[in-house]
């Protein structure tokens, strides 16, 4: 499985783009729209939730001034960090059709196809 590679031009997508824009981002190499495949996202979320659950149960006892917020914070941080790391490590990209944008639908390139 090609990790973070565009299936069309094999350009490796930046980690930030993969993690921040899993639904739709533009390939730096060929300009086509990509998304992180369902399997990678489900995997990242599942492992993230498991890590969050683990962090909540192993967080230090809530005797500090922050009280109940500590385990919750641990869980959220663990979920966010782990799911992002799994996405970075396993993101399998696929091409998606570009979103329809009426303002840029009439491009010169579309008319050039006739010649």
Binding site for Zn ion (CB under 5 A): 6, 8-9, 11, 27, 29-30
Shortest reach from residue 31's CB to Zn ion, in Å? 7
DSSP sequence for the chain: --SSB-TTT-PBPPHHHHHH-SS-EE-TTT--EEEE-HHHHHHHHHHHHHHHHHHHHHSPPTTSTTTTHHHHHHHHHHHHHHHHHHHHHH--EEE-PPPP-GGGSS-HHHHHTT-
| Residue number with CB closer to Zn ion (3 or 70) | 3
Shortest reach from residue 109's CB to Zn ion, in Å? 17
Shortest reach from residue 89's CB to Zn ion, in Å? 20
| Residue number with CB closer to Zn ion (13 or 86) | 13
């Amino acid at each position: 499985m090609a990790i973070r590679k565009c299936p069309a031009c094999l350009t490796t997508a930046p980690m930030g783009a993969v993690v921040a824009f899993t639904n739709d981002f533009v390939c730096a190499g060929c300009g086509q729209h990509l998304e992180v495949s369902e399997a990678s996202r489900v995997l990242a979320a599942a492992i993230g939730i498991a890590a969050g659950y683990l962090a909540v149960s192993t967080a230090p006892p809530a005797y500090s001034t922050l009280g109940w917020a500590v385990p919750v914070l641990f869980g959220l941080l663990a979920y966010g960090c782990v799911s992002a790391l799994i996405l970075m490590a396993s993101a399998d990209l696929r091409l998606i059709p570009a979103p329809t944008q009426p303002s840029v639908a009439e491009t010169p390139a579309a008319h050039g196809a006739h010649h």
